[in-house]
Amino acid sequence: MKINVLVAEIGSTTTVVNAFDGINTDRPKFLGQGQAPTTVLEGDVNIGLSNAIEDLKKNLEVENFQYDEMFATSSAAGGLRMTVHGLVYDMTVRAAREAALGAGANIHLVTAGKIRRTDVKKIKDINPNIILIAGGVDYGERDTAIYNTEIITDIDLDVPVIYAGNIQNHEEVKLIFEEKKKSHLLYIVDNVYPKIDVLNVEPTRKVIQDVFEEHIVYAPGMQKVRELVNGSIIPTPGAVMEASKLLKEDIGDLVTLDVGGATTDVHSVTEGSEEVNRILISPEPEAKRTVEGDLGVFVNMKNIVSRIGKEKIAEDLNIGLEEVERLIKEHKPIPTTELQKEFVERLTLEAVITSVYRHCGGYRDLYGSSGKKTLAEGKDLTNVKWIVGTGGALTRLPNRVNILKVIALSNKGDKLLPTKEASILIDNYYIMASLGVLSKKYKETALNLLKQSLNID
């Protein structure tokens, strides 16, 4: 059997392989999917990848196949680990953080101002895959970013460094890297915060993904995957963001929720409403991602159980506490019994509501001599027309649509959440991340396949 494209998603708990055909036609087709547990702990993610390919063969009912191209996304072994260093937390640091998260990074350290010795120790302990330096609007403060650059180049780490700060520092930063014989590690990009209240995150996001692909050495065995893949490799969360941005261009403002085994990611692509923008305290990027590292329905299941409470779970599922304890003890990556599915649905509901509340902004009342004034702070989702569910939980659970409907119903009026008019879309084939990386080369084909999966005409 001949297949046009394979896309491998190497996740923290599960590896998925999707097969596509008719890539160069106006009728591309999703052929099927195979999946297997990710094998980071076994020391080689290729074992899980091979097992997923074998599962794909079984599902396609073929003994073997050949493929023209292979793409991949990865979030195994912590995915893309980054540290971010800026000038003022609410300004350049926040802009740099937005750029890194939108590219699919997991941020392990954020610093504002001059890096301290304790920060250096943390950077060494984290051993990041990429370091991002920002600081100063263009033609503004220069010294902090220069100081941080010198400190970071002195650290004994062979790590790519992206500079996205004051444009006046470009030559100085290049000189510092040349003197330390580390020019090959430096990437200079446009300032993420070029003017007060202006965000410019997209150039940095693109470079982060390019650097990730160039230095793909994260999970055990990923270098072998690089040899198999003849297309792009990007972080899985970044791929979901790419697909969300592609879809927004076609159908309008949206928010995508990806509930996984280890984390819950929220991706919103919207400029918000004119009404809220007029009272917004500080700017927000059009495309924003937040990652909740404590809200995973498998690896971090016990965190969600603690948030809900075992007694509340027992009440909601109409079971005894002993049964709840058994569900926790026997919890699996993929539920099989009806009760296990109900348990994961309750976990997923908590993950969805908590993550969206953390992602969105809200209203603030300020009191002054002229009385009360209402302002808005954070990401405005009130203009969102579509709520999209992807990831294992929100594409496979029976009550996935009802879970997403609760987002609007939970609003007590103080949060900038989507309204009840927002429609629910489900990534039925569970291929959104695959199509995000596919869109790097085949944009129209990826959009066509995505609309098929979401049942959009």
What was the pLDDT predicted at 78?
59
From start to end of 395-447, where are the E strands?
Answer: 423-426
The CA distances from residue 418 to 16, 29, 214, 260, 357, in Å, are 31, 32, 38, 22, 11
Do residues 94 and 114 both lie within one domain?
A: yes
Domain limit, last residue, from 153, 183, 214: 214
Domain for residue 343, yes or no? yes
Query: Does 222 have pLDDT greater than 70?
Result: no
- For residues 205 and 307, what is the distance between their CA atoms, to the nearest angstrom? 33
Do residues 279 and 327 both lie within one domain?
A: yes
Do residues 396 and 408 both lie within one domain?
A: yes
Hey, which residues does 36 pair with through a beta bridge?
Answer: 15
Do residues 66 and 172 both lie within one domain?
A: no
Q: Which residue has 């540290």 as its token pair?
A: 83
Hey, which residues does 426 pair with through a beta bridge?
Answer: 389
What was the pLDDT predicted at 122?
97
Total structural domains within the chain: 3
CATH number, position 118: 3.40.50.2300
SS3 87: coil
Domain of residue 203 covers: 80-214
Domain for residue 441, yes or no? no
- For residues 167 and 36, what is the distance between their CA atoms, to the nearest angstrom? 47
Domain for residue 452, yes or no? no
Domain for residue 72, yes or no? yes
CA-derived radius of gyration, the chain: 22
Do residues 89 and 42 both lie within one domain?
A: no
Domain for residue 444, yes or no? no
When the pLDDT of each residue in the chain is averaged and rounded to a whole number, the result is 91
CATH number, position 22: 3.30.420.40
- For residues 50 and 35, what is the distance between their CA atoms, to the nearest angstrom? 10
CA–CA–CA angle 84, 90, 91 (5° rounding) = 75
Do residues 72 and 92 both lie within one domain?
A: no
Q: 77-81, 251-255, 303-307, 351-355 — which is least confidently predicted?
A: 77-81
Q: Return left, alpha or beta for 371; rule: phi > 0 is left, psi -120 to 50 is alpha, else beta.
A: left
Domain for residue 439, yes or no? no
Do residues 242 and 224 both lie within one domain?
A: no
Do residues 162 and 72 both lie within one domain?
A: no
Averaged pLDDT, 390-411: 94
